[in-house]
């Protein structure tokens, strides 16, 4: 099993829609997780941290399911500006470095 | 804060030439990371430093790659000799807690 896996998408959604992505991980001992956002031809930027209780920031909600070893990112009321690649990030097998998922592409259309 | 600064933004070189990428981390950050991003392999960690000391270089592809951090405000990634398969975007990132990374704008490297 890969350390982290994401559905590459693309997810094509209309403005105002709610969309959710999942990310599965293999290291059951992982304690903290992150979602990064990467715009086309730009650098990744930290979007949200995900801890055991989850996290909410405006239209964005990140949740953790330890039993099934996945994290999710929910985006409500999608905006055109949300179009980007969303990268799931988890600690590696030995916990000493982060592993980035391949990313899920989101395209919000008007 | 100016953020993580990388140079050059673009580098086009011929196979066999030496390439040096540069990075200035955010002041006060103890960790510095070098990543490579390609369509096929995504973001791969090459090496990271803590307090200027290399901690994990297991991601460095081969001996052609080397990285240094002579002080807290500067790091280089060198490829010698360069090959076409090294073409990628190389990102430098810094952090003060090892997990929340701040990336530079990257260097787009093309080896012809």
Predicted confidence (pLDDT) per residue in B19-59, tens digit: 999 999 999 999 999 999 999 999 999 999 999 999 999 99
Minimal Cβ distance to B103: which of A32, A44, A103: A44
Instruction: Give the residue from B6, B42, B47 with the most A CB atoms within 10 Å of its CB, the best one to mutate.
Output: B42
CB B75 within 8 Å of CB B25: yes
pLDDT tens sequence for chain A (110 residues) = 778 999 999 999 999 999 999 999 988 887 789 999 999 999 999 999 997 888 899 999 999 998 999 999 999 999 999 999 999 998 877 666 789 999 999 999 99
What is the predicted pLDDT for the residue at A22?
93
What is the predicted pLDDT for the residue at A94?
66
Partner B, chain A 37-56, Cβ-Cβ below 8 Å:
42-46, 49
**Which of B12, B14, B43 minimizes the C-alpha distance to B108?**
B12
What is the predicted pLDDT for the residue at A3?
86
In chain B, the percentage of residues whose pLDDT exceeds 70 is 99
What is the predicted pLDDT for the residue at A52?
80
Q: Buried b / exposed e across B36-72, counting CB within 10 Å, b at 16+?
A: bbeeeebbebbbbbeeeeebbeebbeeeebebebeeb
| Tokens 């955010």, located at residue | B26
Peptide bond into B90 cis (omega under 30): no
| Tokens 């990268």, located at residue | A87
A2–chain B nearest CA distance, Å: 13
With an 8 Å Cβ cutoff, is A1 touching chain B?
no
Q: Rounded to an integer, what distance in angstroms lies between the CA atom of residue A49 and that of residue A101?
A: 15
| Tokens 């992150």, located at residue | A34
In chain B, the percentage of residues whose pLDDT exceeds 90 is 89
Q: Rounded to an integer, what distance in angstroms lies between the CA atom of residue A87 and that of residue A37?
A: 6
What is the predicted pLDDT for the residue at A95?
61
B98–chain A nearest CA distance, Å: 8
What is the predicted pLDDT for the residue at B99?
84
Rg (CA), chain A: 13
What is the predicted pLDDT for the residue at A2?
79
B104–chain A nearest CA distance, Å: 7
**Which of B108, B90, B103, B86 minimizes the C-alpha distance to B32?**
B103
What is the predicted pLDDT for the residue at B52?
96
Dihedral pair phi/psi, residue B5, rounded to 5°: -115, 125
């Amino acid at each position: 099993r890969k350390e982290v896996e994401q559905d590459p998408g693309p997810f094509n959604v209309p403005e105002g829609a709610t969309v959710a992505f999942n990310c599965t991980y293999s290291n059951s001992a992982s304690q903290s997780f992150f979602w990064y956002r990467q715009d086309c031809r730009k650098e990744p930027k930290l979007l949200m941290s995900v801890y055991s209780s989850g996290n909410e920031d405006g239209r964005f909600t990140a949740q953790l399911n330890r039993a099934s070893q996945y994290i999710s990112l929910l985006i409500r009321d999608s905006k055109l500006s949300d179009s980007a690649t969303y990268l799931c990030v988890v600690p590696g097998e030995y916990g000493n470095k982060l592993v980035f998922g391949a990313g899920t592409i989101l395209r919000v259309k008007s | 804060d100016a953020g993580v600064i990388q140079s050059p933004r673009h580098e086009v070189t011929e196979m066999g030439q030496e390439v040096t990428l540069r990075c200035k981390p955010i002041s006060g950050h103890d960790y510095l990371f070098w990543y490579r991003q390609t369509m096929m392999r995504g973001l791969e960690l090459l090496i990271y430093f803590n307090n200027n000391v290399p901690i994990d270089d297991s991601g460095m592809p081969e001996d052609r790659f080397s990285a240094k951090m002579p002080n807290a405000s500067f790091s280089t990634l060198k490829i010698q000799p360069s090959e076409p398969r090294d073409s990628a975007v190389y990102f430098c990132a810094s952090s003060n807690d090892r997990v929340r990374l701040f990336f530079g704008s990257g260097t787009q490297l093309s080896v012809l």
